[in-house]
Amino acid sequence: MIAAGTGLAVGGTADVLAREASRHAIERCGADGADVALVFVTGDAHARGGEALRAVRRVTGAPVVLGCSGTGILTERREVEGEPAVAVLAARCQRLVATPFSFERQGERADVGTELGQRIGSTVAEGGCVLVLPDAMGLNPAALLTQLHEGLGFVPVLGAVAAGEPMFELYDTELTEGALVGVALSGLAPVIGVTQGCTPIGEPYVITHAQSNVVQRIGSRPALEVLGEAIRAEPGTGTRVQRAGVFAGLAMDPSKSPLERGDFLVRNLVGADQSSGALAVAERVRVGQTIQFQIRDAEASRDDLSAMLDELAGRLGGRRPAFGCYFDCAGRGRGLFGVSDHDVTLIRERLGDFPLIGFFGNGEFAPIGQRNFFHNYTGALVIFPES
């Protein structure tokens, strides 16, 4: 059996809030102690972060305690932006194996992903996932993910970059900066959903001429010409593009047909050459890869999140979520949707009321297909269901 609960406390000093949130979390957990406690705080908790962690350890009894700061935090009950707050998840399960890690001064370690893979390899050898909560300072997402894949093969990597003023990481009973902290989890099968906040425009086409990150031809036509056609395909798209921007959706599985939501890695368009009709994408591309242009705004983000949750509910197959984590981009939330609690409200409506914790970060880690990527403007949801 999995026992889990969350607590959320708003307004006050970090140590007082952490004590209150931990008490609520352990009460809702229903166990006499936790195996793992995740802690997310707003940046103004920096001055008393150590005291906050000691309060969490004391109340929950968890031997594994870790987390970080965010521009906002969330539980299943609400999202908190612009206020001092602490959220705590307490979880206990005999099957759960948790291997925490902390790499201080990550920027001074060129092979931090290799070291991490060696440390957690035995934990995730037969499945599971890795939650990573790095600082932006010294972070090299591409190298981290590449080294992890080389050492472990494909293991889902989820998480987000710490955020807030200041940004910092929480591990054991210490507050640190410039670090990579996290935990490898196994014994429970994660169910993962990723919302990149986009909706496709036009049709999917095959890239027929490309080099590095530059797409010259799509379907044997100039890439810029195909983009213009996609924008003109439906009334109103041009207006939305001016407001929200247009992106490239790159299909990850060359054998998949038909392509559906979640099959594309969304990346920025970073340049265009009017004379040649070429487009530069913030990701390497290859000839034969399918591309479909995308737009991202509040409407697209809402639709994509709803579709992701419906798909995830289907994969759960009636199993109840025991607990979960949601890593949301700081560019989403109230600033994008114009209302509070947008994402957690939809999650609760589609998947029911279950213990959920997360924060608003500076970039997200999540898999698309069988590869892990670093994203922006994305929501990454990992759920651990009851057996």
**Is residue 349 exposed (0-12), middle (13-18) or buried (19+ Cβ within 10 Å)?**
exposed
Looking at every residue in the chain, the average pLDDT score rounds to: 95
Question: In the predicted model, is pLDDT for residue 242 greater than 90?
Answer: no
* Arithmetic mean of pLDDT, 138-150: 97
pLDDT score recorded for residue 241: 84
DSSP state of 10: E
pTM of the model: 0.95
Does residue 254 register a pLDDT over 80? Answer: no
H/E run at residue 223? helix 223-232
User: What pLDDT does 261 receive?
Assistant: 80
pLDDT score recorded for residue 128 = 95
Instruction: Name the DSSP letter for residue 319.
Output: P
Quick one: pLDDT band at residue 233, thresholds 50, 70, 90?
confident
| DSSP secondary structure, 322-353, as one string | EEEEEEEETTSHHHHHSSTTHHHHHHHHHH-S
The residue ranges of every structural domain in the chain are: 2-195+302-385, 199-295
Confidence (pLDDT) at 236: 83
* Tens digits of residue pLDDT in 283-334: 999 999 999 999 999 999 999 999 999 999 999 999 999 999 999 999 999 9
pLDDT, average across residues 51-65: 97
Each residue of 333-373: pLDDT tens digit? 999 999 999 999 999 999 999 999 999 999 999 999 999 99
Residue 100 pLDDT level (bands cut at 50, 70, 90):
very high
Instruction: Give yes or no for residue 27 having a pLDDT over 90.
Output: yes
Give the bridge partners for 303, in sequence order: none
Give the pLDDT of residue 237: 84
Name residue 246's amino acid. Answer: V
Instruction: Write down the pLDDT at residue 278.
Output: 97
Tell me the C-alpha distance between 384 and 316, whole Å: 10
Q: What is the pLDDT of residue 75?
A: 98
pLDDT at 387 over 80: no
Confirm if 25 and 90 have CB atoms less than 8 A apart. yes
